[in-house]
Amino acid sequence: MTIRSLAGAAAATVMMASLAACSDNAEEPAASAEAQGQNWRYAHEEYEGDVQDVFAHKFKEYIEDNSAHTLQIHRFGELGESDDIMELTQAGVLQFVNQSPGFTGSLIPEAQIFFIPYLLPVESEKVVTFFEESKAINEMFPKLYAEQGLELLTMYPEGEVVITADEPVTSPEGFQGKNIRTMTNPLLSETYQAFGATPTPLPWGEVYGALQTNIIQGQENPIFWIQSGGLYEVSPNLIFTGHNQFTTAMMANQEFFNGLSEEDKELVRNATDHAFEHIAGYVPGLGEKMLDKILEDSDEVTVTRLTKEQRQAFRERAPQVENRFVEMTGESGAELLEQFKADLEAIENE
């Protein structure tokens, strides 16, 4: 068993013991438990002050301001890594989880749609509207998540994905011979193969050291994560290819959610909307602010923004990733992709 798996198992044991010790409310009638309030647990994948943490605290704020319930937030590493917190949520140890499709894709292959390059616009001001109004996201995805015992509450963008590397790169040829870290996501691996690199799946906890020792020569993440994780210290060349938005999803354990009263279900939905609305105004401009911090902190950082012509060389390779997505997901993936594109077109034409 790996250290990461041991950490996750230990965390699960601790959490199970904690739940057992605090189970008095669970044994009481639902009305009594609601009157006294329950303590719910919520885990996400990021550090203090990062986007998912801001979202979680806005969610907590609404829950605690409008009910007797309390919310306990667990940040990255406190309960293991992304796979661990998903397992804890499916087991009912956690009530809520925030996890990107980059990891959920192993459970729900269709969630990998967010890794088709140049599908989601990175510069459109309407991207938030897409998440709010998309039939693919709000009608089709909840059914897929439900099959895994998860109640999908929302999806939201965290900002443009930026590649960092050991040298500036402006073409697919520049990525040849480079090991680029990817999340444990087959379609993201397909993307970097198409881009000319060698995809190297690694859990987040190993990325900094792997960059530092040149096991990998690059990785991708939104700018705020590159800043908060210090990745620019060991991978100082930032490359804006414009190929994707980083997307994440917030979910509940479905058995827990279905067991809530109608009043508490509405509370959770309203808290989700409250957090989403805050993030919709928080994320725009965040990348540039974090880039300024990076540039203030390091004289070694370079910033390469690909021109329209340079992006085209990467864009031309996107169809093979899209075709692979359909091969991996079959009819359900093809229908989802068709609706996804229709939703994007409708919103851009509004």
> What integer pLDDT is reported at residue 348 of this predicted model?
86
Residues forming beta bridges with residue 222, ordered by sequence position: 161
Which value, in Å, is the radius of gyration of the alpha carbons in the chain? 20
- On the question of pLDDT at 7 being above 80, the answer is no
Helix/strand/coil (H, E, C) string of 62-113?
HHHHCCCCEEEEECCEECECHHHHHHHHHCCCCCEEEECHHHHCCCCHHHHH
- On the question of pLDDT at 164 being above 50, the answer is yes
> What integer pLDDT is reported at residue 34 of this predicted model?
52
CA dihedral 101, 103, 104, 107 (to 10 degrees): 140
Q: Summarize the confidence of residues 140-153 as an average pLDDT.
A: 97
| CA distances, 321 to each of 185, 285, 296 (Å) | 13, 29, 37
DSSP symbol at 122: S
> What integer pLDDT is reported at residue 126 of this predicted model?
87
> What integer pLDDT is reported at residue 28 of this predicted model?
42
User: pLDDT digit string (tens) for 290-339?
Assistant: 999 999 999 999 999 999 999 999 999 999 999 999 999 999 999 999 99
Domains and CATH numbers, the chain: 3-24+34-108+124-157+250-282 (3.40.190.170), 162-244+290-348 (3.40.190.170)
pTM of the model: 0.89
> What integer pLDDT is reported at residue 162 of this predicted model?
98
- On the question of pLDDT at 25 being above 50, the answer is no
> What integer pLDDT is reported at residue 2 of this predicted model?
35
